[in-house]
Amino acid sequence: MPPDGPALAERTPPVRCRSSAAYLLIKHSLDRVAATIALLLALLPMCWIAWRIRRDSPGPALFLQRRAGRDGRSFDLYKFRTMRTDADPYGESPQSGDDPRVTPFGRWLRETSLDELPQLLNVLRGEMSLVGPRPLYVQQMAEWDGRQRGRLLVKPGLTGLAQISGRGGLTIEQKLEFDVQYVERLSVGLDLWILWRTLRSVLARSDIYERRYSESRVRRSDDTQQRDQ
């Protein structure tokens, strides 16, 4: 039975990746088959979403951004655009649905997690998995210690242990620790459990917005602002 709850966020020794050839084969097959079926089922809804984005806000329907993948290799992550085109693509994460950078339709996409649907293409391209640590900015890798970089031993995912353990209610340190502990507990059973819990979390629309970026910073840029003062 996979453990759950805040206890997983406690620090433990250096990373030991438990992947095996059999596990990787099953995971790869599950990713390809499930992503293909999901894309076929979601094709018409995705076309409608793209049309609504273009109708309600000037600019492209898709948003591309470089993110850190397995072993630190960067790739283009696909998302439906939820912000105005003049918003800083590497700015702070919205902390509520009232953020003026978020479009009205983008707010609904974020709250239903439908903005992540295009990442099924990343899964088919082999850049992501259905389950794994969420792909973060390439620039953020410089902030991680040796243990936290252990999250790069596996492909990033559409959902992960951190996303079902608090999501926006967690600090970056807690999210990174959940990511590393996922790497240490790899199993098909854990992946299926995370997918089930993700469905429940999405339907509940819980902890969508980031409350506090770090244990020491409310926002990602706070340390830069303090140095400039």
Q: Which residues of the chain have pLDDT under 50?
A: 1-10, 224-229
User: Residue 173 and residue 33: Cα distance in Å, rounded?
Assistant: 33
- Answer yes or no: is 178 within a domain: yes
Q: Which residues are CB-contacts of 145 (< 8 A; sequence separation ≥ 6)?
A: none
- Answer yes or no: is 106 within a domain: yes
DSSP conformation class of 141: G
Q: Which of 210, 165, 148 is nearest to 4 (CA)?
A: 165
- Answer yes or no: is 1 within a domain: no
- Domain total in the chain: 1
Structure confidence at residue 13 (pLDDT)? 58
Structure confidence at residue 211 (pLDDT)? 76
Domain of 53, in residue numbers: 6-228
**Predicted TM-score of the model (pTM):** 0.85
- Answer yes or no: is 120 within a domain: yes
- Answer yes or no: is 190 within a domain: yes
Structure confidence at residue 112 (pLDDT)? 93
- Answer yes or no: is 78 within a domain: yes
Q: What is the DSSP string of 151-184?
A: GGGS--EEE-TTTTTTGGGS-HHHHHHHHHHHHH
pLDDT digits (tens, 9 = 90+) for 94-149: 888 888 999 999 999 999 999 999 999 999 999 999 999 999 999 999 999 999 99
Structure confidence at residue 207 (pLDDT)? 75
Structure confidence at residue 221 (pLDDT)? 61
**Secondary structure class of 204 (helix, strand, coil):** helix
